[in-house]
Structure 1
Amino acid sequence: MSELKNAVENLKVSTPKRDKIEVMSSEVTDSNPYSRLMALKRMGIVQNYENIRTFTIAVVGVGGVGSVTAEMLTRCGIGKLILFDYDKVELANMNRLFFQPHQSGLSKVNAAAETLQAINPDVTIETHNYNITLIDNFQHFVDTITKGSLNGGPVDLVLSCVDNFEARYTINTVCNEINQKWFESGVSENAVSGHIQFIIPGQTACFACAPPLVVASSIDEKTLKKDGVCAASLPTTMGIVAGFLVQNTLKFLLKFGEVSSYLGYNALNDFFPTMSLKPNPNCEDINCRLRQKEEAARPKVVVEVRTEEEKPLHEENEWGISLIDENEDAESKLSILECKGIKYEYEASSPISETETTDKIETSLDDLMAKMKSL
């Protein structure tokens, strides 16, 4: 026991104490460890990564997907995060990748703000602990989205990470009304599939354009809840969906790559469906129909494609004769055949070598001479 005690004392002496937490500069530079994605700039994928500090993102729902999404954005150095939720942290939430047991009893937004500020104190965190679906909170929610950015204007993007249709419809209604771009995300009840959907009012289908069967049938979704069952309870699925959400958020903000209109995930067979959803002209949301009319009236930009005039292969080739490599098609077919699961309708005969041809000719002459002698 005495040896163990001495070892612990030596460890305490050798470990330097930190009297204060180092607060990094808000400037995004190579020396700033909070610039988690500086490698994107170094490799030439983005040229304006510094602009990440100017953007404001609203995250609605700080649960399984929303909390991980907020953490990823914080580590990427986002300028400001606005968090909305009204739940409290419970021990049942410890299947998340974010919350900790000692935070049990705290509101989710306050617990999230505490953790996120410790990760990156440069990020401005604003929290709102209320239910956005209630009439009393509706106008405040609208005002926060339209005036909550760092410069006092609308936020750059709204990320929906809620787990019920009522909240999704509220976000959809607000974003259609103020013409706000947003991402909808979700994880299935069985926790092994999820999706993200990018919604641009008037250009893509909103959440009301193709309502879920539960909503279209006027079924109270509260009756579908099962006691002791928590949707989106698998941390792997939540982490994957949150990663898709943040990755496409970064592509949209920093303008690199292609933003997915809809990206799904099915863990049972690792299937990732993608699609583009057009708005419904008969959408029940009046503001969605209004945005569609505005989009239709907007002048279309016509991109002129210039094609270079084909020149002859040979300037003095009067008859337009050109030589083609006969082995070209064979080589291209051979390369295609190397692809798994691809085969031809019929197989071409293999080329005959010169030796095989000579042997066949000699054999046929001998046969003819034998036949002539037998006559």
Structure 2
Amino acid sequence: MRLASSGTSRRSKVKDMSAEVVDSNPYSRLMALQRMGIVENYERIRDFSVAIVGIGGVGSVAAEMLTRCGIGRLLLYDYDTVELANMNRLFFRPDQVGMMKTDAAAQTLTDINPDVILESYSLNITTVKGYEVFLESLKRKNSKQDRQSSAGTAGVDLVLSCVDNYEARMVVNQACNELKQTWMESGVSEDAVSGHIQLLIPGETACFACAPPLVVASGIDERTLKREGVCAASLPTTMGVVAGLLIQNALKFLLKFGQVSPYLGYNSLKDYFPSMEMRPNPQCSNSACLERQKEYLQAKPARDALAKEKMEAEASLRSECPLHVDNEWNISVVDDSEEGTSNHIEASGTLPDGLTRELPTADKYEEALATGGTNLVANDDFDLVELQRQLDALNAS
């Protein structure tokens, strides 16, 4: 087990997250989300801490995406080393072979964005000692986290699980249930053509023990399922898609925009994206999960009252808004009650300033001759004497 930290010494050199559109501003394209109204306050991303467990095909790409997005602090967990067999994936380089994955990731990510605080934990979280370190590191807050984390007792705002086995997922599940910590799980199938992401909120959604996979529920050791001489397939495309879906969901959760997906699958063979929502199991085998479920139900009345108050406030705000706002084209929405006024203007024949009445075309004159000239009468203000004179002149010709 080895711990390392990177990026803290450079924190004093953090660049302002400016919205200025210049080639030298690394955040201008990100801040455009705020200018366009997609995100209310993108600069808040500086305040968030995210833990990524498993720095493999999905986890390493997820870490890079968050780093490029300007996340405040990243905690990286893995106990494996970089191998040439990993080169079919994204992120790692051949010159990093032999390095611990967390150290190699910290090296690359620091070069990409030195503003991010990086904490590297080279340990196996499924061991007793590893789990203790994992739990304590999730509790630890950074220098800017004087507040209690909104997610619970943890010092991180979100945990992303990018591991490849059920045992490690259950460890992450246990830690997050104990800490009341929201987390997202991800996975790619062994044949590398499908994957999924899942949001887990202790007490509110099903935890990973609420509905275990059929193989695990049947008591079969998943390690015995691997075929001799055949390793799991890995496609950088599938890994990249799943990592993108995971981080997109994480950004929506952290910055509060769009709709956070409770579960989203991906089947690359059919381009199929199934989604669903899983409620917690009242008979879950995880005692911490049952405790979180109890707390969630007890807080439901207060939560419902707050939601109702928010809805009423939003409805009141909508009712006070004008029918239209000023715009550069001077376009406005006219209330139906003003329709009578518009009809009165048409009946009187009076035109607004700057407009002139269109004269009849040649086709209209021929039609008027065929009908005795009645269609040429546009309104009561037309001079009938003059009209008769024009008709007489046409007939004479």
Q: TM-score range by the shorter chain?
A: 0.7 to 0.9
**Structure 2 alignment gaps of length 5 or more:** 1-11, 146-153, 317-335, 338-397
- Opposite residue 132 of structure 2, the aligned amino acid is Q
Asked whether the 8 Å contact 1:64–1:232 carries over to 2, the reply is no
TM-score, normalisation: structure 2? 0.69
- Determine the C-alpha separation between the residues in 1 that align with 2:127 and 2:226: 20
* Identical-pair percentage: 62
> Which residue number in structure 1 is paired with residue 373 of structure 2?
none
Q: 1:229 to 1:72 in 2, by over 3 A?
A: farther
> Which residue number in structure 1 is paired with residue 216 of structure 2?
215
The structure 1 residue matched to 2:123, chosen from 130, 139, 144, is 130
CA RMSD of aligned residues (A): 2.2
- Determine the C-alpha separation between the residues in 1 that align with 2:230 and 2:70: 35
SS of the counterpart of 1:274? coil
Superposed counterparts of 1:167-186, under 5 Å: 167-186=168-187
- Determine the C-alpha separation between the residues in 1 that align with 2:113 and 2:232: 30
Residues 223-267 of structure 1 deviation map (CA, whole Å, 9 limit, x = unaligned): 122355443610000000000000010001100001000000001
- Opposite residue 107 of structure 2, the aligned amino acid is E
The structure 1 residue matched to 2:16, chosen from 13, 17, 27, is 27
Superposed counterparts of 1:157-306, under 5 Å: 157-227=158-228, 229-231=230-232, 233-298=234-299, 299=301, 300-302=303-305, 303=308
- Determine the C-alpha separation between the residues in 1 that align with 2:143 and 2:137: 11
Task: Please report how far the alpha carbon of residue 25 of structure 1 lies from its aligned counterpart in structure 2 after TM superposition.
Answer: 3.5
- Opposite residue 196 of structure 1, the aligned amino acid is I
- Determine the C-alpha separation between the residues in 2 that align with 1:65 and 1:178: 24
- Determine the C-alpha separation between the residues in 2 that align with 1:118 and 1:284: 44
- Determine the C-alpha separation between the residues in 2 that align with 1:226 and 1:69: 29
- Determine the C-alpha separation between the residues in 2 that align with 1:158 and 1:226: 32
Displaced runs of 4 or more, over 6 A? 304-308
Q: 1:133 to 1:36 in 2, by over 3 A?
A: farther
**Structure 1 alignment gaps of length 5 or more:** 1-22, 315-375
> Which residue number in structure 2 is paired with residue 355 of structure 1?
none
> Which residue number in structure 2 is paired with residue 320 of structure 1?
none
TM-score, normalisation: structure 1? 0.73
- Determine the C-alpha separation between the residues in 2 that align with 1:141 and 1:228: 33
The structure 2 residue matched to 1:55, chosen from 42, 48, 52, is 48
Q: 1:131 to 1:77 in 2, by over 3 A?
A: same
SS of the counterpart of 1:223? helix
Q: 1:228 to 1:156 in 2, by over 3 A?
A: farther
Q: 1:240 to 1:150 in 2, by over 3 A?
A: farther
Q: 1:69 to 1:230 in 2, by over 3 A?
A: farther
SS of the counterpart of 2:304? coil
Task: Please report how far the alpha carbon of residue 214 of structure 1 lies from its aligned counterpart in structure 2 after TM superposition.
Answer: 2.0
Task: Please report how far the alpha carbon of residue 37 of structure 1 lies from its aligned counterpart in structure 2 after TM superposition.
Answer: 1.8
- Determine the C-alpha separation between the residues in 2 that align with 1:182 and 1:230: 29
> Which residue number in structure 2 is paired with residue 356 of structure 1?
none
> Which residue number in structure 2 is paired with residue 333 of structure 1?
none
Task: Please report how far the alpha carbon of residue 78 of structure 1 lies from its aligned counterpart in structure 2 after TM superposition.
Answer: 0.3
Aligned residues: 289
- Determine the C-alpha separation between the residues in 2 that align with 1:209 and 1:106: 37
> Which residue number in structure 2 is paired with residue 109 of structure 1?
102
Asked whether the 8 Å contact 1:59–1:81 carries over to 2, the reply is yes
- Determine the C-alpha separation between the residues in 2 that align with 1:73 and 1:35: 16
- Determine the C-alpha separation between the residues in 2 that align with 1:232 and 1:83: 24
